[in-house]
A and B are shown apart, each in its own frame.
Chain A
Amino acid sequence: MIWAAVLLASAGCFLLKIAGWSVPAAWLERDRLQRAAVLLPVPLLAALVVVQTFAGDQRLVVDARAAGLAVGAVLVVLRAPFLLVVVAAAVTAAALRALA
């Protein structure tokens, strides 16, 4: 099953790229389409942030992941490097679990 997802995503993401190199530019240069497509990652990434933090078995839960994200968020606001953000979030959650 995982391999099916890997191969489908590989084929699909490549087709999305090669399509842009192949279609006449005028097709995709409509203003509104551009704006919507450029903005699309924003709600998707925001959704991934909250779902990965608060979803547990089709209900919302607040656990050590939320504390990890909070620490990560502070570091993001401070413009810390990516790796520091990720490691700090993991260490926070791990420390809380070790204490519990």
Chain B
Amino acid sequence: MRRRALSQPDQRRAVVRDAVGIGVAVGAYGLSFGAAAVTAGLSTLQACALSLLVFTGASQFALVGVLGAGGSVLAAVASALLLGSRNTLYAVRLSALLPVRGVRRVAAAQLTIDESTGMATAAPRGLELTAFWATGASVYVLWNLATLLGAVGAARLGDPAVLGLDAAVPAAFLALLAPQVRARRTLGVAVAGALVALAAVPLFPPGVPVLLAGLVVLPLLVRP
């Protein structure tokens, strides 16, 4: 994002405009999350609580996916936490970049996700804070509104299997995965994870195969 030609107020407006645009795009995920959660057997209130409190998309999809497949609470929560662990690394980067102190850190922590981190780190110098708060706030508001709409919509539509919503959930995961596997090495890790999970399905209770797939990154910790 190079905006050196623009003046500071123009740059600020451009950052805020981008932040709103990202919020609208993320709303699409929110709609399908709300629908997926209700399909998995959660109430509308539970779906909305997840978006308000967990507020990290892949973790939320994983939690309802595992619960919907009959997995245990432990397996569902563990999948969600593993997928949420990258937010810790984002937060480390952001805390070095943004002067946020005191109680505001609590709000900043809750808004620490892929999109707000991406926007803050790509922002023109001096606008990192604006980019972070604007993106975080815009995604938070639209993600939660969309979750409510998706959940209410799916609850009214009736038998989800007849409608095919159970096929929408893996497609959603694939769409989340796609931008991360453009490199050949990452593609290999994805295929390995999928194979481990498939092999584990007949052997372990629901939810556990997904956790086992996470083990394929272990060699990276050992090998230089």
In the complex, the answer to whether B174 meets A13 with C-beta atoms within 8 Å is no
Assembly CA distance A39 to B217 (angstroms): 7
| List of A residues within 8 angstroms of B63 by Cβ | 5-6, 9
Q: Please encode chain B, from 183 to 224, with 1 for each CB lying within 8 Å of some chain A CB and 0 for all others.
A: 000100111111011100110011001101110111011101
In the complex, the answer to whether A92 meets B202 with C-beta atoms within 8 Å is no
In the complex, the answer to whether A40 meets B87 with C-beta atoms within 8 Å is no
| List of B residues within 8 angstroms of A86 by Cβ | 28, 32, 168, 171-172, 175
In the complex, the answer to whether B77 meets A12 with C-beta atoms within 8 Å is yes
In the complex, the answer to whether B73 meets A1 with C-beta atoms within 8 Å is yes
In the complex, the answer to whether A69 meets B91 with C-beta atoms within 8 Å is no
| List of B residues within 8 angstroms of A6 by Cβ | 42, 46, 49-50, 53-54, 63
In the complex, the answer to whether A47 meets B196 with C-beta atoms within 8 Å is yes
- Which residues 20-78 in A have Cβ within 8 Å of B in the complex? 20-23, 25, 28-29, 32-55, 58-60, 64-65, 67-69, 72-73, 76
In the complex, the answer to whether A17 meets B54 with C-beta atoms within 8 Å is no
Which of B25, B79, B161, B190 contacts A97, CB < 8 Å? B161
In the complex, the answer to whether B85 meets A40 with C-beta atoms within 8 Å is yes
Q: How many A-B residue pairs have CB under 8 A?
A: 309
Interface window among B3-11, B108-116, B126-134, B137-145 = B108-116
Which of A1, A2, A21, A59 contacts B95, CB < 8 Å? A21
Instruction: Report, as a range, how many residues of chain B touch the other chain.
Output: 35 or more
Instruction: Name the residue in B31, B81, B106 with the highest tally of chain A Cβ atoms < 10 Å from its Cβ.
Output: B81
Assembly CA distance A14 to B212 (angstroms): 24
* Distance between B67 CB and nearest chain A CB, rounded to angstroms: 6
Instruction: Name the residue in A19, A34, A43, A94 with the highest tally of chain B Cβ atoms < 10 Å from its Cβ.
Output: A43
Assembly CA distance A42 to B221 (angstroms): 16
Is A99 part of the binding interface, using a Cβ–Cβ cutoff of 8 Å? no
In the complex, the answer to whether B77 meets A9 with C-beta atoms within 8 Å is yes
In the complex, the answer to whether A68 meets B167 with C-beta atoms within 8 Å is yes
In the complex, the answer to whether B92 meets A29 with C-beta atoms within 8 Å is yes
| List of A residues within 8 angstroms of B168 by Cβ | 68, 86-87, 89-90, 93
Closest B residue by C-beta to A67: B167
- Other contacts beyond A60-B198, A81-B28: 20, CB < 8 A: A9-B54, A12-B80, A13-B80, A14-B109, A17-B88, A19-B88, A21-B108, A32-B221, A33-B221, A46-B194, A48-B62, A59-B201, A65-B170, A69-B170, A85-B175, A87-B168, A89-B168, A89-B171, A94-B167, A97-B161
**Interchain residue pairs with CB less than 8 A apart (15):** A13-B54, A13-B81, A14-B109, A22-B95, A32-B222, A35-B220, A45-B83, A47-B193, A47-B194, A51-B210, A58-B201, A68-B171, A72-B174, A82-B175, A89-B170
